[in-house]
């Protein structure tokens, strides 16, 4: 259907409008807080195909989409449709387009027979409140949200009001006062919303009661009908009174019939049929049976009365707040318990009666706990509250949920007996798994971990403690298409726990009403390590054959320090700037992860599932394919890690992602130098790229400093619609180890980025010489020279930078020195449990070679091969040490490759590298380290001392200006140093794999922070 006013047309959505909708959202950012996120046509198509709207109305000005109004079934409550999103492009404000869209959604609600239309807004959106109220909405007075309800559809569907509205127009005849504040007339604990209409001599007044969402009063020129009670709060199982009033204004007798319309737990035995001459006042009684305490988010249990006046029908309804005589809640502090440990229950008892009362609480005997006392007597004033502390001793692990017998004695001696089992306490410990139920949740416990399933809406949270409030949540899944939100408010057909050797599982079963015959079982398993598995089973119990069903699992995560796989890169997002799922696009793998302040959280979903951000939520979607009658399908699971995996690499591996070289992490607003390659060839310029991985356009400037000199400035604006900006900068005649400083301004953010660039020049000479009867292999790149002689020992005995020697060695023969005998010094790598004495028994050889790194850069290398034949532990091991140089660059790369492990299991072994440092005199050398934020310098050759080195530690000599940096490898487990009066040794340990990650030694006159040197980890070798 299309509706138009002037040149603005209201149309229903189809995919051809997707690009226009994306443009509308991008031009509306200032109306939503100035967000810089960018919406694309494809994102709109995906979102609208999966959002579950009944329909979507668009305001069109020619080809331009200028307004948006969704209409869907309200997932939080029954009996209502809902406007999930309403927007008018800012340059079209003031043209009543919002009114047109809302009125169209309201008309559709009436056409579909629904009684109510709801929407939410934010408290500061005061300019829209008059529009909403004129269109029939009432603003609910609540602190937790800004919720509006429109009852005009119920007015239209009420038969008794039809004669009045033959002469009244609900919009133009309205006499309601429009105030920019929450609505409501408060009487006896009830809140009423009142419509008033007048046109000439015709008038009507209708009241709706807030919690029951129904009509409580109707007044026209002919009648006044009202259902009333003295209290909104009612005590369960206690007889209550209500009043039904009729005022006959016609002057003639009317037939008046009324009867109780029993629904759910409210029972009213009530029936009247009479002729009313003038006024009638009828008192009736009802009772509310035991049940759950209602939520403010949902329609409350209601007293309903059907009324016929001269055959014209209406229903009057009052929502109730049923309560037990006392509200009893409580818990016990602590996450873990131990047998025979003393603990304490803290129980809050609140008197719900309208008078003082004495409450007698009796706890049953339990095999889980031993109570010091089981009987308690509490005196409480009207609406009073006390905290009761109950000591107990843990006797057995499990879920303690006592069914307390409670007797309330009123002042007049009347008594009310009831039971209360609202309090549930998990008695958790290591290796213990069980399930249990509290007032508002089902719980799954395994070890220290706990999963909570909220009964209100089946929201699932999980954590390594007892709190139900966690940063990650699963929401009720949706079945489609079109997608239905029925499972968020349906009652489960079954709920049960079961356990096996490794996990405890909770199962919820739902029967779909939207898809006849489909039985959906939702499973949640908790493993003791902190892994949560969620999956679903679908059974077609009906006769209908479905061509395809879609199962969508939504979730939310309050992200802190997150990593996402975007555009085939791993992106690290800001620790401090909030990230919403709507800011992500281009997810290329099936996982995400977050450090979350030391409590890591990760999630992975099935590889065959489609995943998409959707506003503040994220969902993954699976398909059944043809689904015949009698078919059963088990969908692939998703996995939530709550500390089970400690790094994104572990999470990614568990998700089943395989790749060649390890992924390097990019920042969310990445400055990429030389296409990510840390090495530049001899060239005049190098390319740089600045890229944002949030769904926003680049807007700002970048100032480039190469070493200490300002190199250039580049500008880019939002109007250019760039997410990637590329340019180049000159590097001719720059330092071989260059530091790039970039000052980047993006919108309101200013940041400084430092990167490392290795600039090659010249070549590497490789040759041999004879010295002391030994063949010496020499490499010289013009700035660094290294020497090794495998006949002496397998390693380097010389490493010079600008002709200054940095290695301490006994070449050409081993000697005894200090703690070591034999001692050769220099630099070498050996497997753990092998001494120099044993190493010298083995045969080693050397050769010059060239190797390529992961970026294709060619390095010149000295390869020293060692074959172990004598050592009892490592017999059969064949391994090669590589020492590699680039032309003109003050950097040595070194790593180990095992060609043959000799049948040895390497998992618990290590490669150990030691480097003995020379300075002419040991006392000329200084080790500078960062210790708790402050730099400390230690002179060598003075005393015996050991150190744990951190990134950025440096070694210097008082005889030269340069620093030596020993850069740990990516797989390094320990980097340390040892000094005494005879030696200065640097020691590195890494896991003994077949191929170790490269470590580096860099030389430079400047002070370089470790974080910058760690950029070298991007370089890997095969």
pTM score, two decimals?
0.84
Confidence bin at 33 (pLDDT 50/70/90):
low
Nearest 5°: phi and psi at 748? Answer: -90, -5
Section 579-583 average pLDDT: 81
Q: Could you report the per-residue pLDDT of 625-679, keeping only the tens digit for each? A: 999 999 999 999 999 999 999 999 999 999 999 865 567 788 888 888 898 899 9
Terminal-residue alpha carbon distance, the chain: 64
Confidence bin at 536 (pLDDT 50/70/90):
very high
DSSP string, 525-574: EEETTTEEEEEEEEEE-SS--BS--EEEEEEEE--SSEEEEETTEEEEPP
Distance of CA 980 to the CA centre of its chain: 51
Q: How many CB atoms within 10 Å of residue 875?
A: 13
Q: Report which of residues 538 and 489 the model is more confident about.
A: 538
From residue 759, alpha-carbon distances to 17, 711, 737, 781 in Å are 51, 16, 6, 13
Q: What percent of the chain has pLDDT over 70?
A: 99
Picking from 268, 375, 383, the residue whose alpha carbon sits closest to that of residue 323 is 383
- Ranked by mean pLDDT, the top range of 40-49, 57-66, 712-721 is 57-66
Confidence bin at 4 (pLDDT 50/70/90):
very low
* Angle separating helix axes 18-27 and 41-50, nearest 10 degrees: 110
CB 484 within 8 A of CB 512: yes
Placement of tokens 């250039």 in the chain: 712
Domains of the chain, start order = 1-156 (3.40.630.30), 171-322 (2.60.40.10), 325-425 (2.60.40.10), 436-653 (2.70.98.90), 668-758 (2.60.40.10), 763-1016 (2.70.98.10)
Picking from 390, 526, 889, 450, the residue whose alpha carbon sits closest to that of residue 678 is 889
Q: Could you report the per-residue pLDDT of 448-474, keeping only the tens digit for each? A: 999 999 998 999 999 999 899 999 999
Section 603-632 average pLDDT: 91
Q: Could you report the per-residue pLDDT of 956-1001, keeping only the tens digit for each? A: 998 889 999 999 999 999 999 999 999 999 999 998 999 999 999 9
Q: How many CB atoms within 10 Å of residue 748?
A: 9
Placement of tokens 């979607």 in the chain: 621
On the question of pLDDT at 30 being above 90, the answer is: no
Strands (E), 853-962: 858-867, 878-885, 891-900, 910-916, 925-931, 934-939, 945-948, 954-957
Check the CA dihedral 805-806-810-813 and report its sign: negative
Picking from 208, 204, 175, the residue whose alpha carbon sits closest to that of residue 191 is 208
- Give the total residue count for the chain: 1022
Q: Could you report the per-residue pLDDT of 829-870, keeping only the tens digit for each? A: 999 999 999 999 999 999 999 999 999 999 999 999 999 999
pLDDT (0 to 100) of residue 509: 96
């Amino acid at each position: 259907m299309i509706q138009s006013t002037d040149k603005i047309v209201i149309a229903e959505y189809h995919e051809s409008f997707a690009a226009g909708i994306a443009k509308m959202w991008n031009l509306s950012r200032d109306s939503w807080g100035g967000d810089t996120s960018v919406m694309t046509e494809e994102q709109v198509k995906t979102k609208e195909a999966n959002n579950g709207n009944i329909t979507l109305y668009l305001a069109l000005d020619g080809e331009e989409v200028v307004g948006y109004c969704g209409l869907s079934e309200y997932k939080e409550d029954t009996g209502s449709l809902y406007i999930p999103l309403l927007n008018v492009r800012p340059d079209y404000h003031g043209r009543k387009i919002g009114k047109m869209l809302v009125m169209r959604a309201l008309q559709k609600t009436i056409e579909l027979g629904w009684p109510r239309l709801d929407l939410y807004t934010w408290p500061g959106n005061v300019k829209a409140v008059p529009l909403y109220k004129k269109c029939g909405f009432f603003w609910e007075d609540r602190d937790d949200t800004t919720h509006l309800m429109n009852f005009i559809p119920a007015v239209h569907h009420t038969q008794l009001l039809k004669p009045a509205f033959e002469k009244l127009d609900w919009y133009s005849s309205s006499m309601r006062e429009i105030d920019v504040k929450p609505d409501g007339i408060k009487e006896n604990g009830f809140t009423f919303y009142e419509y008033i209409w007048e046109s000439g001599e015709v008038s009507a007044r209708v009241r709706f009661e807030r919690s029951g969402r129904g009509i409580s009063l109707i007044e026209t020129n002919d009648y006044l009908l009202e259902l009333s009670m003295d209290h909104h709060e009612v005590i369960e199982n206690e007889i209550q009174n209500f009043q039904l009033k009729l005022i006959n204004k016609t002057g003639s007798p009317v037939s008046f019939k009324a009867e109780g319309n029993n629904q759910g737990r409210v029972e009213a035995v009530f029936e009247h049929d009479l002729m009313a001459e003038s006024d009638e006042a009828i008192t009736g009684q009802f009772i509310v049976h035991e049940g759950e305490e209602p939520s403010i988010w949902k329609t409350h249990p209601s007293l309903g009365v059907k009324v016929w006046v001269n055959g014209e029908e209406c229903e009057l309804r009052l929502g109730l707040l049923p309560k037990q005589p006392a509200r009893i809640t409580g818990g016990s502090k602590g996450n873990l318990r131990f047998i025979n440990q003393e603990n304490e229950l803290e129980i809050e008892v609140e008197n719900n009666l309208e008078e003082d009362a004495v409450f007698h609480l009796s706890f049953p005997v339990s095999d889980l706990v031993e109570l010091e006392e089981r009987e308690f007597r509490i005196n409480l004033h009207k609406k009073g509250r006390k905290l009761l502390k109950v000591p107990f001793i843990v006797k057995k692990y499990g879920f303690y949920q006592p069914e307390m017998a409670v007797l309330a004695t009123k002042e007049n001696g009347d008594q009310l007996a009831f039971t209360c089992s609202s309090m549930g306490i998990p008695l958790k410990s290591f290796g213990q798994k069980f399930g249990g139920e509290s007032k508002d949740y089902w719980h799954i416990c395994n070890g220290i971990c706990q999963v909570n399933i909220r009964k209100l809406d089946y929201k699932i949270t999980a954590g390594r403690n007892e709190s139900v409030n966690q940063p990650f949540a699963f929401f009720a899944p949706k079945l489609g298409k079109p997608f239905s939100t029925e499972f968020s408010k349906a009652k489960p057909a079954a709920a049960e726990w079961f356990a096996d050797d490794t996990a405890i599982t909770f199962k919820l079963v739902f029967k779909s009403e939207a898809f006849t015959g489909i039985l959906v079982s939702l499973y949640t398993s908790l493993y003791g390590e902190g892994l949560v598995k969620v999956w679903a089973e679908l059974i077609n119990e009906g006769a209908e054959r479905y061509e395809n069903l879609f199962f969508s699992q939504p979730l939310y995560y309050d992200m802190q320090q997150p990593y996402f796989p975007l555009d085939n890169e791993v992106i690290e997002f800001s620790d401090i700037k909030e990230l919403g799922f709507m800011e992500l696009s281009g997810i290329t793998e099936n996982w995400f992860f977050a450090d979350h302040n030391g409590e890591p959280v990760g999630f992975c979903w099935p590889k065959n599932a489609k995943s998409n951000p959707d506003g503040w939520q994220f969902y993954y979607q699976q398909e059944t394919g043809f689904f015949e009658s009698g078919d059963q399908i088990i969908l692939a699971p998703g996995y939530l890690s709550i500390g089970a995996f400690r790094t994104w690499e572990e999470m990614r591996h568990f998700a089943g992602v395989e790749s060649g070289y390890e992924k390097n992490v990019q920042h969310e607003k990445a400055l990429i130098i030389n296409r990510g390659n840390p090495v530049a060839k001899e060239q005049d310029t190098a390319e740089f790229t600045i890229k944002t991985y949030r769904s926003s356009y680049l807007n700002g400037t970048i100032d480039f400093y190469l070493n200490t000199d300002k190199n250039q400035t580049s500008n880019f604006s939002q109007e250019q619609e760039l997410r990637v900006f590329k340019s180049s900068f000159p590097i001719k005649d720059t330092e071989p180890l260059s530091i790039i400083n970039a000052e980047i301004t993006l919108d309101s953010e200013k940041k400084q980025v430092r990167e490392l660039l290795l600039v090659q020049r010249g070549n590497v000479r490789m040759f041999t010489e004879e010295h002391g009867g030994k063949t010496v292999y020499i490499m010289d790149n013009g700035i660094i020279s290294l020497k090794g002689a495998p006949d002496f020992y397998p390693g380097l005995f010389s490493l010079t930078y600008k002709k200054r020697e940095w290695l301490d060695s006994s070449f050409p023969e081993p000697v005894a020195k200090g703690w070591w005998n034999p001692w050769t010094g220099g630099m070498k790598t050996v497997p753990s449990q092998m001494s120099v004495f044993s190493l010298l028994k083995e045969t080693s050889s050397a050769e010059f070679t060239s190797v390529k790194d992961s970026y294709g850069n060619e390095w010149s290398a000295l390869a020293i091969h060692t074959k172990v034949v004598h050592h009892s532990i490592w017999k059969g091991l064949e391994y090669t040490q590589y020492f590699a140089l680039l032309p003109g660059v003050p950097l040595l790369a070194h790593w180990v490759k095992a060609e043959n492990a000799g049948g040895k299991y390497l998992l618990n072994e290590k490669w150990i590298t030691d480097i003995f440092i020379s300075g002419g005199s040991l006392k000329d050398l200084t080790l500078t380290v960062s210790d708790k934020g402050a730099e400390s310098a230690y002179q060598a050759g003075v005393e015996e001392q050991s150190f744990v080195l951190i990134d950025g530690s440096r070694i210097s000599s008082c005889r030269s200006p340069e620093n030596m940096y020993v850069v740990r490898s990516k797989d390094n487990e320990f980097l340390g140093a040892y000094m005494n009066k005879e030696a200065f040794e640097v020691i590195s340990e890494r896991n003994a794999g077949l191929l170790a990650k490269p470590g580096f030694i860099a030389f430079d006159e400047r002070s370089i922070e470790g974080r910058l040197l760690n950029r070298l980890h991007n370089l890997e070798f095969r």
